A and B are shown apart, each in its own frame.
Chain A
Amino acid sequence: MTESRPGPPAEDTPQSASSRLFDLRYLIGGLFTLYGVVLTIASFFVSHPQSGDVDINLWLGLGMLVLGVFFLVWARWRPLHVGGPTAAAPTRTPD
């Protein structure tokens, strides 16, 4: 396995498994989409005497939904590990 990033040579140490780390964007995207949908639906049922005229659950729900979808789209658009961890030099990075 050729590593694209520089690092000290591993002598008696096992190979790094860091390339097996999952893509955080799917997790943030999934959680915020779920929260967004739940809050948006709940906003029609929960009374909000505390927040007065502002239906904060609706606005928060929509905001979280947008952020969640953004992360999901980003993760699909630019996946992690283009060409797998053995790619010689990934010129594109997901940030």
Chain B
Amino acid sequence: MLALQAADDLRLDVNVLDFAILAVYFAVVIGIGLAARRSIATTEDFFLSGRSLPAWVTGLAFISANLGAIEILGMAANGAQYGLSTVHFYWIGAVPAMVFLGLVMMPFYYSSRVHSVPEYMRRRFNNPTHLVNALSFAAAQVLTAGVNLYALGLVVQALLGWPLWVAIALSAFFVLVYITLGGLSGAIYNEVLQFFVIIAGLLPIVIVGLVRVGGWHGLEQAVNKPAFFSTWNGTQAGGWTNPLGDWIGLVFGLGFALSFGYWTTNFAEVQRALSAKDLTAARRTPLIGAIPKIFIPALTIIPGLLAVALVPSFRTGNPNYNYAIPQLMQRLLPNGALGIALAGLLAAFMAGMAANVSGFNTVFTYDVWRPYVAKGRSDSYYLRVGRITTVVGVIVGIGTAFIASTFNNIMNYIQTLFSYFNAPLFAVFILALFWKRVSPWAGFYGLISGIVAAFAFHYLGPNLAYFHAGQRPGGVANDQMVNFYGAIAAVLVAWAVMAVVTPLTRPKPQEELLGLVWGLPDPNGPDVAEASVVRAWWQSPALLGGIALTFVIILSLVYL
């Protein structure tokens, strides 16, 4: 996408009906911000929706915060480039991690009443660990917001012919308005709405496309690449041929290090669950999100395969894979459905950016400004800081948009960011949760060494012959595989450093760890009473998690 050579032939034939649909949508987006403003009186209202939302809202927002346009276009690109193997990002990647978050980790986040993931790090470890986590998260969020914005500008330029800066300024303005006014509630409500609109936008592409090629078998014949229709073929260690590399990288790198790291420690995600109204709703948040996540590949990977079948340039030369969905919008959708798809795509860009900005303003205010810059001020002061931070975050996001221009595949860029920050953080987290002896300084050095290891591997990995096609040096390294193995390296290095530093340093007294570590429950915790509340059987987190995992296992066997 970022190499924008073939822009003019993507111009959509939009008419007044499509623009009317778009105009209504954008009016609603602003309306949500204005209406949500009434519900904000405190910082907790602004940053965590006052911890008041029902589970279906936070659950859909949880999935939608990740279902930005970069994810959608990027996964369709992967589908066109790698075929069905792309489902690994969903079925071995996202879903098990989301189930783990809901069933195992959420009680520690929610019941300890931390406002953010970095705040957990401060209470479990110490201020330096906290600051590293807070600053690296804030930087990653602003970078990602910039990527979103730049990509949106390119897509709008290609589809509608508007100048890049107009699209960037306009969408930044919309995001700015609804978050500055409505805070997290404004972001979450827009995300839930966007979830339904993007499905309404993508489903017609899949239906019309599959009818055009003659169903699933027609698609297999039209694509004519059998390897594209299996998921685990060629993943044997030592002699991989699968486009995503061997099973070690897939299971331990993508499935464990990257995905658990992203879904369980990325505050932009966890924040949605923290805004739920009680502990059970918080635990059900990622589980409710996991169910639609299982089926989203049908709306992203299938369009990627349809593009291979239906777009001539996708079969020859060097196609721009990120334009798979826009290409199909142009070819398959009449006016009307086109307007919905366009609204969904633009909404997805804004939702992706809004998730980053709302995570950024919260961490900056709660974890950088309040503890280290201006302590002990009034709540209204921090609310004002939050609003100003939102404006600054959007402006910096616009500035960083251009960092993205040096990478060819957006997903790789995002994955690279994850492996720098999320995998080491998860390594530290999992030891922090299950090993009460881990000392504050072990957490600090574990985190730092993990980040250094991830950076180092990013530059070393491409030189290792094993990551080249055919395991022979001289070719181009498999980027995805380097990312997966880099995340494994980061986790192992962080664990090793923590295991060495812990015996040499003082642990935290146990009474300070109550409610923060497995096996040390807080007898006075705020959610203790909730355990005695009898709930309907269908509200059980374990049941939801079990259903999600069962679906994934069945589907994985069907599409082996």
List chain A positions with a Cβ less than 8 A from chain B.
5-8, 10, 12-22, 24, 27-28, 31-32, 34-35, 38-39, 42-43, 46-54, 56-57, 59-61, 63-64, 67, 93-95
Given contacts A16-B52, A52-B208, A57-B337, 15 further A-B contacts (CB under 8 A): A6-B529, A7-B526, A14-B380, A17-B40, A17-B41, A18-B50, A19-B39, A22-B38, A27-B193, A34-B24, A35-B21, A35-B200, A46-B335, A54-B211, A57-B334
Q: Determine the chain A residues whose CB is within 8 A of the CB of B203 once the complex forms.
A: 60, 63
Across the interface, A18 reaches (CB within 8 A) one of B52, B332, B526, namely: B52
Check A18/B49 contact, CB under 8 A, given A27-B32, A46-B336: yes
Stretch in B54-62, B215-223, B417-425 with 4+ CB within 8 Å of A: B54-62
Measured between alpha carbons, how far is A42 from B334 in the docked complex, in Å? Answer: 11
> Contact: A50 with B21, CB < 8 Å?
no
Q: Enumerate 26 A-B pairs (CB-CB under 8 Å) in ascending A order.
A: A5-B51, A5-B277, A6-B278, A6-B526, A7-B113, A13-B379, A14-B380, A16-B44, A16-B45, A18-B52, A19-B50, A20-B39, A22-B35, A24-B192, A27-B32, A31-B25, A39-B336, A42-B17, A47-B334, A51-B332, A51-B334, A52-B208, A56-B334, A59-B207, A60-B336, A95-B55
Counting chain A CB atoms within 10 Å of each CB, the highest count among B17, B25, B50, B55 belongs to B50
Q: Within residues 111 to 147 of chain B, which ones have a CB less than 8 A from any CB in chain A?
A: 113
> Contact: A21 with B49, CB < 8 Å?
yes
> Min CB distance, B181 to chain A, in Å?
13
List chain B positions with a Cβ less than 8 A from chain A.
17, 20-21, 24-25, 28, 31-32, 35-36, 38-45, 49-57, 113, 185, 189, 192-193, 196, 200, 203-204, 207-208, 211-212, 277-278, 281, 331-337, 340, 378-380, 526-527, 529-530
Check A31/B211 contact, CB under 8 A, given A16-B45, A56-B337, A95-B54: no
> Min CB distance, B61 to chain A, in Å?
10
Q: Determine the chain B residues whose CB is within 8 A of the CB of A35 once the complex forms.
A: 21, 24, 200, 340
Q: Determine the chain A residues whose CB is within 8 A of the CB of B208 once the complex forms.
A: 50-52, 54, 56
Total CB contacts across the A-B interface at under 8 A: 156
> Min CB distance, B288 to chain A, in Å?
9
Measured between alpha carbons, how far is A32 from B42 in the docked complex, in Å? Answer: 32
The DSSP consensus for interface residues of chain A is loop
Measured between alpha carbons, how far is A63 from B281 in the docked complex, in Å? Answer: 29
B204, closest chain A residue (CB)? A56
> Contact: A52 with B336, CB < 8 Å?
no
Q: Determine the chain A residues whose CB is within 8 A of the CB of B334 once the complex forms.
A: 46-51, 56-57
Counting chain A CB atoms within 10 Å of each CB, the highest count among B20, B53, B335, B530 belongs to B335
Counting chain B CB atoms within 10 Å of each CB, the highest count among A21, A93, A95 belongs to A21
> Contact: A21 with B185, CB < 8 Å?
yes
Measured between alpha carbons, how far is A59 from B333 in the docked complex, in Å? Answer: 12
Q: Determine the chain B residues whose CB is within 8 A of the CB of A32 once the complex forms.
A: 196, 200
Q: Determine the chain A residues whose CB is within 8 A of the CB of B24 once the complex forms.
A: 31, 34-35
Q: Determine the chain A residues whose CB is within 8 A of the CB of B45 once the complex forms.
A: 16-18
Q: Determine the chain B residues whose CB is within 8 A of the CB of A49 once the complex forms.
A: 334
Q: Determine the chain A residues whose CB is within 8 A of the CB of B335 once the complex forms.
A: 42, 46
> Contact: B51 with A7, CB < 8 Å?
yes
> Min CB distance, A48 to chain B, in Å?
4
Q: Determine the chain A residues whose CB is within 8 A of the CB of B43 once the complex forms.
A: 13
> Contact: A27 with B42, CB < 8 Å?
no
> Contact: B50 with A46, CB < 8 Å?
no
> Contact: B337 with A60, CB < 8 Å?
yes
Q: Determine the chain B residues whose CB is within 8 A of the CB of A48 once the complex forms.
A: 334
Q: Determine the chain A residues whose CB is within 8 A of the CB of B51 once the complex forms.
A: 5, 7, 18
Measured between alpha carbons, how far is A52 from B56 in the docked complex, in Å? Answer: 37
> Contact: B42 with A16, CB < 8 Å?
yes
B210, closest chain A residue (CB)? A54
